[in-house]
Structure 1
Amino acid sequence: MDVLYHRCAGLDVHAETIVVCALVGEEEHIQKEIEPFPTFTKDLFRLLKWLEDRRITHIAMESTGVYGKPVFNILEDYFDITLANAQRIKNVPGRKTDVLDAEWMAKLLRHGLIEKGFVPPADIRELRDLTRLRKKWMGQLTAEKNLIHKVLECSNIKLSAVISDIFGASGRKLLDRLMKQGYIEEWEIDACIHGRMKEKKAQIQESLFGTLTAHQLFMIRQSWKHIEYLESLIQEMDHRIDQLLQADQQELELLMTIPGVKKETAAVIIAEIGVDMGQFPTSQHLASWAGVAPGNHESAGKRKSTRTTKGNPHIKSALCEAAWALSRCKNQRLAAKFWSLKSRRGTKKALVAIAHRVLIIVYYMLSRKEPFREQPTH
């Protein structure tokens, strides 16, 4: 086999140790050196010096999540680093030690047999951290709101049956009065409700008649404090995300021209795949990486499975949310396609299929820097 890189190394990264195997020289005279390093910061800089002394140009390491990030951050400016998919570089069964793993990666890299994983630039990685944390906090916010719903139902306060969103402007005022004194007088309801809620005054008054105990009030107040705290954190997070998106404002606005894609979803898409589509050879490579492409498992002429791969769960969920919002849009071909697929294949498969199409559109929009243009259905 042809040798592509004459000075390369394989890194087997763990929480406490890194085993390095360096391969230097031509095919007839290969010099192999193996050295273990601890993972403290000073040892990572010692690793950097060790690699530089041997004039290493290319490095391969498994994508080991959080353990590999400090190593990558220190070495990325000095070497061409290939993040390898652990599933695709498995060695012969039974041959499994840290030294053998590092040597196997170095050999594969030497002959160009490791497919390079996608690693976005530092600013996109920072944006990715923020959007993922924001999603986590939004989940906690929803959980606290559901807990308040549960306590109100237990006390037979049916406010959610009358007001669709009890955490809207009118609902929040009613909950605030309820938490302060445990009940709401009829004249107080007028001061809390606004607009079309005035028409539901009698129903609201009846729904508020329940049996709130001191314990239930305490539970609601605790959840309410957590909700207010989370909302303040999310507001700060949104401000920070806006700052990081300043450099990609053009791409953000392009993505928001897609029906069903709002600012938060567009931010997640940019955070997960970046704005440079040159990282992906084709749109289908991107779809496979994201986990929204149909599977391909064929044997003896029979197609056995079309299940999608796990892919990137963060962008996959964002695309499915966008697909669900798009399905509600009128006069859109993708919406019509969703309902057609839903009737034949079910909701979940239809959502993934539309998410796949949306991602293909995103790929070409970002590649060509063109806004979304859709011919309406008639």
Structure 2
Amino acid sequence: MDAILERCAGLDLHQETVVACVLHGSLDRRPKKETRTFGTTTKELLQLQDWLLEFQCTDIAMESTGVYWKPIWNILEDDFKLTLGNAQRIKNVPGRKTDVSDAFWIAKLLRAGLIESSFVPPVNFRDLRDLSRYRRKLLGHTTSEKNRIHKVLQDANIKLSTFVSDLFGVSGRALLESILDGEVLKVDEVKAIVKTSLKKKV
């Protein structure tokens, strides 16, 4: 493999450890190899960052293994050019010896420019995507709870939806709160609670 990077590193990611292998040296000679294992807490990942900076690494590669790569990417992306490689494609590159560690193999492929990087959006887009997913999840939970409340009312033969189009609007919530307070609602009381546009239905 012809080298194109003088100082690079490969990371082998696991749930509790990160194995880092640095290759550094002239392009026309066999590179020096440095290997070290780190934990995955923020403190330990910052130690990994410092260790990579000590060797003046310019490029770092890792496999897109589950979600393990995300916190490491977040910490390293400001200081290095990062490559997120497809795990299956990395394994299928010919020439690997059986006794070669994953981290060394990733570093070796990166040094030769043989890892195609997957697209990783900028941090602001990643944050927005996470927030959007969380919002969809909350909306799903909200819809489920609303449906459950409708069912409870129907089972109790409380026909609030007959008078209120949106049970969870201002008027609907006021009626629900009155029921939860133990009040027995009469027509005049309902008229006093609901908004003007809804009183015609009562």
TM-score band by shorter chain is 0.7 to 0.9
Q: Is the 2:163–2:198 Cα contact (8 Å) retained in structure 1?
A: no
Which one has the largest radius of gyration?
Answer: 2
C-alpha displacement of 1:113? 2.8
C-alpha displacement of 1:55? 2.5
Instruction: Give the AA of the match of 1:90.
Output: K
TM-score by length of 2: 0.79
C-alpha displacement of 1:188? 0.9
Residue 40 of structure 2: aligned partner? 39
C-alpha displacement of 1:41? 3.8
2:12 aligned with 1:12, yes or no? Answer: yes
2:46 aligned with 1:78, yes or no? Answer: no
Q: Gaps spanning 5+ residues in structure 2: where?
A: none
C-alpha displacement of 1:155? 1.0
Q: Is the 1:91–1:104 Cα contact (8 Å) retained in structure 2?
A: no
What CA RMSD, in Å, does the superposition of the two structures yield over aligned residues? 2.9
* Structure 1 runs (4+) greater than 4 angstroms displaced: none
TM-score by length of 1: 0.46
Q: Is the 1:10–1:106 Cα contact (8 Å) retained in structure 2?
A: yes
Q: Is the 1:91–1:101 Cα contact (8 Å) retained in structure 2?
A: no
Residue 327 of structure 1: aligned partner? none
Q: Per the alignment, in what secondary structure is the counterpart of residue 38 of structure 2?
A: strand
Residue 114 of structure 2: aligned partner? 113
Q: Per the alignment, in what secondary structure is the counterpart of residue 37 of structure 1?
A: strand
Residue 188 of structure 1: aligned partner? 189
Decide whether aligned partners of structure 1 residues 10 and 76 sit closer, same or farther in structure 2, where only a CA change above 3 A counts.
same
Which structure's relative contact order is higher, taking Cα pairs within 8 Å and 6+ residues apart? Answer: 2
Residue 307 of structure 1: aligned partner? none
Cα deviation 1:210-235 (Å, max 9, x = unaligned)? xxxxxxxxxxxxxxxxxxxxxxxxxx
Q: Aligned ranges for residues 1-378 of structure 1 at < 5 Å?
A: 2-25=2-25, 26=27, 28-64=29-65, 66-91=67-92, 100-160=101-161, 163-201=164-202
Q: Per the alignment, in what secondary structure is the counterpart of residue 101 of structure 2?
A: helix
% identical equivalent positions: 55
Q: Gaps spanning 5+ residues in structure 1: where?
A: 202-378
Q: Per the alignment, in what secondary structure is the counterpart of residue 90 of structure 1?
A: helix
C-alpha displacement of 1:123? 3.8
Instruction: Give the AA of the match of 1:53.
Output: E
Q: Per the alignment, in what secondary structure is the counterpart of residue 10 of structure 2?
A: strand
Measure, in 2, the Cα distance between the counterparts of 1:196 and 1:48.
63
